[in-house]
Structure 1
Amino acid sequence: MTLTADLYFSFRSPYSYLAIGRYSELSETHNVDIALRPVYPIAIRDPDILFTNALQGRYIFIDSARSAQMLGTPYRWPRPDPVVQDMMTRKVSDEQPYIYRLTRMGQAAQRRGKGIAFADEVSKIIWSGEVDNWHEGDHLAEAVKRAGLDLDELDAEAAARTEELDAEIAANQDALAAAGHWGVPTLVFEGEPFFGQDRIEMAKWRMEQKGLTKR
């Protein structure tokens, strides 16, 4: 028996990055198919409520870095940030050349059944610190290739089917809310949400109660 689950994910979320590799590994080693459900980050969906408390941003920077250190996961805040934003004033730019492209391609990858692999490989080049200017050269193309996909094909679909993909992304956000949460990463299994990169073992435990087995 193969179980199914949905992973709600943002390419701007450090915690999504810290979770995606482990969820990808879980889907490879165990009989569970995890569908990627990309959503736009709160900075895009509702920038007025982003970091309303000045301490929020500082805490996230500190906690994400130490979480990565504890996990032994390579980590650095992206260069460039997937969301163009002045971190001093918290103002989000009207021009967003990265996050729309990434999120739409993530949805297009999921259409092909490779959403988790796409998110895993692309997140590594954005967040690991192993490359600068992840958006330039062949970094992104090579990451997409490792996921078994073609960057030009995904880009073409993201450009030609923008409205369709954005409608699917909006539906992902609605489904996340319907499951009882608002943040990412959240895995939803049989209607139960597991929020955060520190809930992966709990999600696995619940799946094991429902018959999760190794492949």
Structure 2
Amino acid sequence: MTLSVDLFFSFRSPYSYLALPKTMQMAADYDVTVNLRPVYPIAVRIPGFFKRANPQFARYVVLDSSRVAQRENIPFRFPRPDPIVQDMTTLDVAEHQPYIHRLTRLGAAAQADGRSLPFTRAISRVLWDGSVASWNEGDHLARAAAEAGFDLAAMDAAITADPDRYEQIIAGNEQAHAASGHWGVPTFVFENEPFFGQDRIDLLIWRMEGKGLKRR
């Protein structure tokens, strides 16, 4: 029997990006379906989060995510531009968020199509691997989407025609994420049990093996 696991994912989260190679490998090696469910970043989901957090929080994330990428040999650079429009001096988050709304809605569209994991893997590399100067310019996203079997222009048009449909998908994801018992990303959820972090995939596999997970 094919097992199923949810993955709650943010396009701004370095650890979400860093989880993708092992997630793809898990899906290739084991008889498991990974349902990637995009959510908005914590900067949007929890207004004022960064102003209340310890000022060392963001600095540590930069340090730690960079060394995780080095250890795992994953191409890595923080996205340019930042998917969240935020003044990193004052930590104010802008009300208008064109980048993260588009990215997350695109992820929701791929989720509705049943192929959110390969789509998100392709798009996230453009943001995070440092191979392009500005991920939001030119045809970088369109080419990445095409490589994953998607027509980006058609997806954008569908979202523009009915944005509420995709916002409802995202809202459902966020509700399920909250109900799982964790608030961070990436969070994997298997049979209502959360596994938070890109470094918990081995533990997740262990748990699923106890429930009959088989290699392909």
User: What is the TM-score normalised by the length of structure 1?
Assistant: 0.96
Matches within 5 A, 1:22-171: 22-52=22-52, 53-171=54-172
Determine the structure 1 residue equivalent to 2:201.
200
More deviation in 176-185 or 151-160? Answer: 151-160
Distance in 2 separating the partners of 1:154 and 1:27: 25
Q: Deviations over 1:89-117 (max 9, x none)?
A: 11112222210000001010011111000
TM-fit CA distance, 1:25: 2.1
Q: Deviations over 1:151-204 (max 9, x none)?
A: 012111221221121111111111111111111000001111000011011111
Look up the SS of the partner of 2:195 in the other structure. strand
Letter in 2 for 1:167: Q
Letter in 1 for 2:126: I
Q: Deviations over 1:59-105 (max 9, x none)?
A: 11111111111111111111111111111111112222210000001
Distance in 1 separating the partners of 2:161 and 2:46: 26
Distance in 1 separating the partners of 2:73 and 2:116: 24
Q: Deviations over 1:101-152 (max 9, x none)?
A: 0000101001111100011111111011111111111110111112111101
Aligned residues of 1:51 and 1:57 also touching (Cα < 8 A):
no
Look up the SS of the partner of 2:167 in the other structure. helix
TM-fit CA distance, 1:39: 0.3
Alignment gaps of 5+ in structure 1: none
Alignment gaps of 5+ in structure 2: none
Aligned residues of 1:36 and 1:116 also touching (Cα < 8 A):
yes
Distance in 2 separating the partners of 1:114 and 1:153: 15
Percent identity of paired positions between Structure 1 and Structure 2:
53
Aligned residues of 1:38 and 1:103 also touching (Cα < 8 A):
yes
Distance in 1 separating the partners of 2:161 and 2:56: 40
Determine the structure 2 residue equivalent to 1:9.
9
Letter in 2 for 1:77: F
Summarize the Cα distance change of 1:51–1:124 in structure 2 as closer, same or farther, 3 Å threshold.
farther
For these two proteins, the number of residue pairs brought into alignment is: 215
TM-fit CA distance, 1:46: 2.0
User: What is the TM-score normalised by the length of structure 2?
Assistant: 0.96
CA RMSD of aligned residues (A): 1.1
Distance in 2 separating the partners of 1:132 and 1:22: 26
